[in-house]
């Protein structure tokens, strides 16, 4: 008797969440077995069991701080984009990158405008303090802000991280003293386009929906 033909499900078994989790573990190249097991439990909780809690958010912060910069970018992209975690976990990771423009810009190179949607999805209270909220509300309806662009060719490339004039001019002055190349642009920014006002870094910074800025010029 001929053997029955295999079904499509048998020939092409669907990947399970655990299969994908194991692939992610390999991608992140976590060495210690204890750390692998810890990270695996965290991934399964936010993906397969769809959990979202303060404890998982704190675990996300710890993982982020222990990873190398490239894996920090991967972790945020994975948890906020590819496998959307709950608002507490996603908010914790986005808060970690607020003081790190390089990570935010790397995410935008990879995920484009999706990152703006990640910020919009997270409760403002998990990203911005009450004092920062008041500072944001005190800004004019349209104001001048500065953005650092890394294009050496003369082309202006915009991104999400912006500075208010006082902080930007101080940065430009320091760069001039140190002979460091620094190119910035200035633009008119609607207050309604500001997703986050963050004062936790060296200088207050803004996360802006840069598609809505106008009158962009190279800073003198």
- pLDDT score, position 13: 43
- Both 90 and 135 in one domain: the answer is no
Residue percentage of the chain with pLDDT more than 90: 25
Comparing C-alpha atoms, which of 115, 190, 184 is closest to residue 156? 184
Query: CATH no. for residue 181?
Result: 3.20.170
Q: Which of the listed residues 111, 126, 141 is the one where a domain comes to its end?
A: 126
Q: Residue 12 — very low, low, confident or very high, per pLDDT cuts 50/70/90?
A: very low
Rounded Cα–Cα distance for residues 54 and 88 (Å): 7
- pLDDT score, position 112: 65
Q: Which of the listed residues 91, 126, 161 is the one where a domain comes to its end?
A: 126
- Both 135 and 75 in one domain: the answer is no
Domain that holds residue 195: 130-218
* Domain presence at residue 135: yes
Residue 116 has pLDDT above 80, yes or no: yes
- pLDDT score, position 10: 47
Rounded Cα–Cα distance for residues 84 and 76 (Å): 10
- Both 106 and 155 in one domain: the answer is no
* Domain presence at residue 3: no
For the entire predicted model, the pTM comes to 0.76
Q: Which of the listed residues 126, 161, 192 is the one where a domain comes to its end?
A: 126
Q: Residue 172 — very low, low, confident or very high, per pLDDT cuts 50/70/90?
A: confident
Mean pLDDT of 82-87: 86
174-205 tens-digit pLDDT:
765 555 567 788 999 999 999 999 987 777 88
Q: Count how many domains the chain has.
A: 2
């Amino acid at each position: 008797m001929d053997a029955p033909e295999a079904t499509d499900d048998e020939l092409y078994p669907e990947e399970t969440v655990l299969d994908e989790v194991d692939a992610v573990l390999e991608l992140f190249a976590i060495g210690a077995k204890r750390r692998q097991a810890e990270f695996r439990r965290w991934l399964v909780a936010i993906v397969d069991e769809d959990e979202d809690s303060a404890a998982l958010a704190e675990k996300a912060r710890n993982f982020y701080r222990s990873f190398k910069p490239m894996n920090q970018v991967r972790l945020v992209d994975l948890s906020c984009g590819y496998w959307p975690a709950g608002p507490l976990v996603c908010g914790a990771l986005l808060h970690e990158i607020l003081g790190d423009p390089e990570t935010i810009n790397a995410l935008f190179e990879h995920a484009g405008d999706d990152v703006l949607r990640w910020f919009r999805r997270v409760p403002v209270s998990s990203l911005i303090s009450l004092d920062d909220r008041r500072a944001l509300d005190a800004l004019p309806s349209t104001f001048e802000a500065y953005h650092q662009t890394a294009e050496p060719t003369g082309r202006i490339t915009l991104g999400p991280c912006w500075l208010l004039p006082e902080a930007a001019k101080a940065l430009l002055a320091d760069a001039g003293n140190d002979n460091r190349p620094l190119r910035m642009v200035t633009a008119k920014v609607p207050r309604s386009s500001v997703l986050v006002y963050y004062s936790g870094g060296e200088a207050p910074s803004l996360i802006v929906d840069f598609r809505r800025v106008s009158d962009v010029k190279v800073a003198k």
